[in-house]
Amino acid sequence: MKDLISKKVIRIGVAAVLVALLAAVTVALSGGSAGFASMLSEPFFKPLKSALTSLVGSLEHVYDYMYRFDEMEAENAELKKRVAQLEQDYREYTEISEENGRLRSLLGFVERHEEMTLEPATVISWTASNFSSSFTASKGSDAGIALYDPVVDEYGNLVGQVTSVSGASCVVSTVIDTTLSLGAQMYENGEAGVAGGDFALMKEGNLKLSYISNTTNLVIGNTVITSGSGGVYPAGLVIGTVTGIAVGSSGLDPYAIVAPACRIDGLTHVYVITDFAVSE
């Protein structure tokens, strides 16, 4: 036994424990925002990962072009039909848009969004984990990004939240990640609930809206937005659309299945909300 557990083996074990302690101290000193391994490796890995992600993206485009030509041709024919339909829809849309513009002004959405400070960033890489949904974005505390800052896409749809940050990059957990939960409400009727990730739904790219007091207000197709309660997220950011209603294993806790409004798989650019006015 003494021969098997040699001094070298013990030293390696001690080294691993020391690394763990060092990481714990670094995380504690950084206020839980970054580990020492990410701090040390970031200048080296960030450009490499950016270049590789870009290369993979280009290869995917070439692959799509080569192998999906027939599919794209059919899609093109379908799209021509849809253009005709959309032209019709556009005429109707103009009327609705005018009405919507008035409603938006009434609700003060535009004014509130003007007070937001947005920091653009690009997606460097996605987590390799099959048990979570997060990505690394190209900007960090040097650009004014802080822990728990909300992140949106170019349309203002909620993408997620900054869950760790270092100088030049940050990690964003998406709305479908199981660790994320936030105050939400239905845009149509104001029914409040808690939106958050669920492991089973995460694998399908969805999240759930639970703790709903009046389940009769759950309607498929309704829009779920942030409630702004707690002051972490601005009110009114679109989280997604209700696509289904289900009941938990106890049979007493109905919840809504929500499809995120942002296209999580296709994210390349995101915007971190570094500052916003808290609505009372």
Partner 1 sequence: MARRKNGVLIKGLILAPYLILLYLLQSTVFTHLPLFGTKPLLLPVAAAGIAFFCGRVEGGVFGLFAGMLMDLSYNQLTVQFTLLMTFLGILIGLMSDTVLVQGFPSYLLSCALELALVSAYQVLSLWVLGNAPVPLSAAVGLRQTLYSLIFSLPLYYLSRFYFRVTRSGRNI
Binding site for partner 1 (CB under 8 A): 4, 6, 8-9, 12-13, 15-17, 19-20, 23-24, 27, 32, 34-35, 37-38, 41, 45, 48-49, 52-53, 56, 60, 125-132, 134-136, 164, 171, 178-179, 197, 199-200, 203
| Shortest distance in whole angstroms from residue 23 CB to partner 1 | 4
Least distance to partner 1, CB of residue 272, Å: 16
**Euclidean distance between CA atoms 163 and 178, whole angstroms:** 13
User: Which CB atom, from 164 or from 222, has the smaller least distance to partner 1?
Assistant: 164
- Residue whose entry in the numeric block shows the structure tokens 């970054």: 34
Q: Which is nearer to partner 1, 113 or 208 (CB)?
A: 208
* Residue 149 and residue 159 in contact, taking contact as beta carbons nearer than 8 Å: no
Q: Which residues contact 241 (CB under 8 A, 6 or more apart)?
A: 221, 222, 223, 224, 258, 259, 261
Asked if 156 contacts 238 with a C-beta cutoff of 8 angstroms, the reply is yes
Contact 277, 132 (CB under 8 A): no
CB nearer to partner 1: pick between 21 and 86: 21
**Could you tell me where the DSSP H helices lie in 30-68?**
36-67
Burial classification of residue 245, based on how many CB atoms lie within 10 Å of its CB (0-12 exposed, 13-18 middle, 19 or more buried): middle
Q: Which of 199, 133, 159, 171 is nearest to 33 (CA)?
A: 171
Q: Specify the residue, 13 or 108, whose C-beta has the smaller distance to partner 1.
A: 13
Nearer to partner 1, 149 or 191 (CB): 149
Min dist. Cβ of residue 45 to partner 1 (A): 7
CB of 129 to partner 1, least distance (A): 5
- Residue 13 CB, nearest distance to partner 1 (Å)? 7
